[in-house]
Structures are given as structure tokens and as C-alpha cells.
Amino acid sequence: MRKLFLAAFALAVTIALVGCSSSTPGAEPTSSSGNATPRVQATKPPASSGTGSFQFSSEMSGRRQQHGITLLQDGRVLVAAGIDTGGANLNKPIHDTAEVYDPASGKWTETGSMAEARHDFVMLTLEDGKVIAAGGRTLRLSYATHGAEVWDPVTGTWTPTSPLIDERDYFDGVLLQDGRVMVFGGFTQEYGMQASTEIWDPATGEWTAGPDMSEDRAAHTATLLQDGRVLIVGGGKADPPYSPTAEIYDPETNSFSPAGELGRGRQEHTATLLQDGRVVVVGGRGKRKEVEIYDPATNSWSDGGAIQVGRGEHSAALLSDGRLIIMGGTGNTASTEIYDPASNSWVVGPDMNEGRLRMAAVALNNGTIFVTGGNSRSGLLASTELYSQ
């Protein structure tokens, strides 16, 4: 990779884009107060056989779900936009605010507001330390947007950049190894899925059309591999069937190729890059328990065991020792589970202090896992938690 920190950014983006591509349109029931309510009761897992614990940190200035998160070059965390509490499905308040968390002090500082309120968008840290936010769903009759803007950590301000060619939300994106940004699929303003891709060049500030994927996708995942290619997995609308297919984008040829087929369709899942270059796909709508692992060396899938608590709309993060932790998810569960790639096995991890789904999480430079916001049984959350081993 062009710089060592890009690997950390790619990991942070993968984690971040779980919050960004979380609740599928029209899929969540609401209470009389307008807050999203769980479809099932939270499930209490067996006593923890994992290690470490979750501790509360300071709260954000506002409650958020389906917000953006990214690790900054100086180790701080930027959180932006997302859904606020109140209102019905299509009329929920949407944040345009942003704030920065400093792990050294454990405190939040408000920064400049975005030009456009949004949720379920892509937000990535660029090579120069700035941050781009693109797409998402906005206040304009809850439509997908093509708006894009860049945050400057020096001035703390957002500046619009050229818009996406196509409006899109519930999509995914990565920072390519050459410093460009690529986004894949998502829902259109009419809630149809799309196969189109786009590439943003920070040198020109312009988007250009990329090649189409092999099929329309939304609520899927895009994971940057160690060799610079991108793995695309699953996708679908709120109701099944969900796509079981996967494909690889190669920036050298600017084309897609098949990457095999999973044992089951997935949507609202996570896909996390391991230290050995493989990708672990966990969960998905329908509270999937089966885990599948992609090996780019063989372009094949293998069994990764099963989690004890089926979940979707959860978060996943890679621990400093190479293990993987998954947290929360459907049913507003507080449970976590930890995967060990050396033994290809799962153990139950410590519970979070609050059950949550549609939150945002990122691995900090010190190895701590940072979790913020989301939806709980009591409503939306402003709380943050830190997991350390």
C-alpha cells in the first residue's frame, strides 16, 4: 500500500460502513413515539468466555443511528450525521451535525455542520487527512442524494465537492490504494437497486463512472483486500431473497470478476478483513448464524463456524491480536462474540453495557474498540463504549 496507515484506514472504513449501510428502507417498525422498536426481544447469551470488558465513555452531543464514523490520521474519531430520535419512518429528524472524539481525553468536541443532513452514506478518511462524505438519504422527502462534501480537520469545516453521478444510499465504498474513492451500488430515489459504480479523484474533485457490477445491489459490503482489489458481497431489499453472490473489482483492469457464491444470501451483514488477508462474513438480515470465509488466494469460500446469537445490523472490528469481535445487532442485543482465525472457532465475549443495533464502531490506534450510538430498546442512544482486552 502507498502508506502504512492505509491499511488501518481500510479497516476503519469497513467497520464504519456497517453503520452506514444499516437499516434497509421500510424495514423497521416504530413505536408510538416514533422511535424504532425491536422486532424481537434481546437475547441473553451464555456467560462470557471471552476476555476484556466494555466501559462507558463520554456521550455524544446528540443521539444518532445510521451515522458515519471514521478514524482520523491523528487517532481521533469523526462522527457525523445520522438519524435523530422522533418522527415516523419517513419523517425522522436527520442530523447535519458532526463531532470529534479524542481518545486521549475521552471527550467530544463539536465541529462544523455538514452542508446536507444525511444517513446511510459513505464516509472515508483520505490520504491528505481530510474526510469525504457522499450520498445517503436526506431530508428531501427521505430521498437518496448525490451530494458529496469534504471535511477539513484543520478548519473543522465541510466544503461541497462535485456530486455523485447517481443518487444512492445504503451503499458501500472504499479508499483505493491509489488514493481515489470508489462507491458501489445502493438504492436509487425510487428504492430500486443499482449495479453502477463511481470513482472520485481527490486531485480533480470529480466523479467518473466505473464499470457496472454483475448485478444490482444495496445493503451489501465492499471490502478492500490486501492486494488492492475489492470484494463485494451480497445485498438485497428489506425482504428476501437476498443475494448469495460475490464479485471482485480489480483496479488494474477496471473490471469485475466472479468470486464464487456463498451458502446463503446475505444483506445487512459484515465483511471484515483478517490479518492473513481472508475476509470473514458474519450475520445478516434474518439473524443469520452461519459464518463464511473468503480466501482471495483460492477465490473460494469456506465454513467459519456459527455464532451463538443470530444477528444483522451489527458491528464488527478486528482486534489487535488478529481476532474478530462482533457486537450487538438485531433484537437490540448487548451480546458480543469473538472469532479466533487460528482455531476457526467462536467464544462468547463480554456484554456491552447497552444493547444496540445500527451503531457505529471503529478500532482505535491503541487497540481499543470504540462503539457509539445506535438504537436500543429504550430508543436512540448518545452513549459510547470502549472495549479493551
Q: Give the number of domains in the chain.
A: 1
Supply the pLDDT for residue 368: 98
Mean pLDDT, the chain, whole residue set: 88
Supply the pLDDT for residue 201: 98
Say yes or no to pLDDT of 237 above 60. yes
Q: Output the 3-class SS for the chain.
A: CCCCHHHHHHHHHHHHHHHHCCCCCCCCCECCCCCECCCCCCCCCCCCCCCCEEEEECCCCCCCECCEEEECCCCCEEEECCECCCCCHHHCCECCCEEEEECCCCEEEEECCCCCCCECCEEEECCCCCEEEECCECCCCCCECCCEEEEECCCCEEEEECCCCCCCECCEEEECCCCCEEEECCECCCCCEECCEEEEECCCCEEEECCCCCCCECCCEEEECCCCCEEEECCCCCCCCCCCEEEEEECCCCEEEEEEECCCCCCCCEEEECCCCCEEEECCCCCCCEEEEEECCCCEEEEEEECCCCCCCCEEEECCCCCEEEECCCCCCCCEEEEECCCCEEEECCCCCCCCECCEEEECCCCCEEEECCEECCEECCCEEEEEC
Say yes or no to pLDDT of 30 above 60. no
State the residue range of the domain holding 229. 5-388
Say yes or no to pLDDT of 378 above 80. yes
Say yes or no to pLDDT of 3 above 90. no
Say yes or no to pLDDT of 34 above 80. no
Say yes or no to pLDDT of 143 above 60. yes
Say yes or no to pLDDT of 158 above 70. yes
Say yes or no to pLDDT of 16 above 50. no
Contact by Cβ (8 Å): 163, 149: no
- Per-residue pLDDT band for 387 (boundaries 50, 70, 90) equals very high
- Per-residue pLDDT band for 140 (boundaries 50, 70, 90) equals low
Q: Which CATH number do you get for residue 202?
A: 2.120.10.80
Supply the pLDDT for residue 24: 52
Which carries the bigger pLDDT value, residue 168 or residue 32? 168
Say yes or no to pLDDT of 44 above 90. no
Q: What predicted TM-score, i.e. pTM, was given to this entire model?
A: 0.87
Q: What percent of the chain has pLDDT over 70?
A: 85
Residue range 166-180: average pLDDT? Answer: 98
Supply the pLDDT for residue 6: 36
